């Protein structure tokens, strides 16, 4: 076993693509993913799982059909399963997502923002 800390900033430096989550660790069936976000995402939900957004750098707004939550660096929010949401960042934000392995970033919405799953860095 190689006991080595995961350097989140170093991992963030390994990619520039936005809206393409990269896996950095797994715990049981959950993946810890880093993603860079800027602009508007698509309305979607995850019918079978909650989803955690932890902002590392920048600001993120998560829109809901009946409101929104604003997150700054160091803040997190858990989107309950089945709740339609749409992330938005005016300027690039760096975010950690925590969700079960196999979750598609756009849920059932599909479209051009759908990222390849299970990409490790």
Task: Spell out the domain ranges in the chain.
Answer: 17-100
Helix (H), strand (E) at residue 51: strand 51-57
- Angle made by CA atoms 24, 54, 2, in degrees to the nearest 5: 25
In this structure, how many other beta carbons lie within 10 angstroms of the beta carbon of residue 75?
13
> Is residue 32's pLDDT more than 90?
yes
Domain 17-100 has CATH 3.40.50.1240: no
42 vs 75: CA distance, rounded Å: 22
What is the per-residue pLDDT across 64-95, written as a single tens digit (0 to 9) for each?
999 999 999 999 999 999 999 999 999 999 99
> Is residue 7's pLDDT more than 90?
yes
> Is residue 106's pLDDT more than 80?
no
């Amino acid at each position: 076993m190689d006991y080595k800390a995961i350097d989140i900033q170093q991992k963030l430096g390994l990619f520039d693509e936005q809206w393409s989550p990269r896996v950095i660790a797994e715990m049981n069936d959950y993946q810890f993913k880093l993603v860079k976000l800027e602009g508007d995402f698509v309305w979607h939900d995850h019918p079978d799982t909650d989803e955690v957004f932890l902002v590392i750098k920048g600001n993120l707004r998560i829109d809901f059909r009946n409101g929104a939550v604003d997150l700054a660096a160091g803040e997190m929010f858990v989107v309950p399963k089945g709740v339609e949401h749409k992330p938005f960042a005016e300027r690039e934000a760096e975010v950690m997502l925590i969700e079960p392995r196999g979750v598609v970033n756009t849920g059932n919405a599909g479209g051009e923002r759908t990222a390849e799953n299970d990409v490790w860095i």
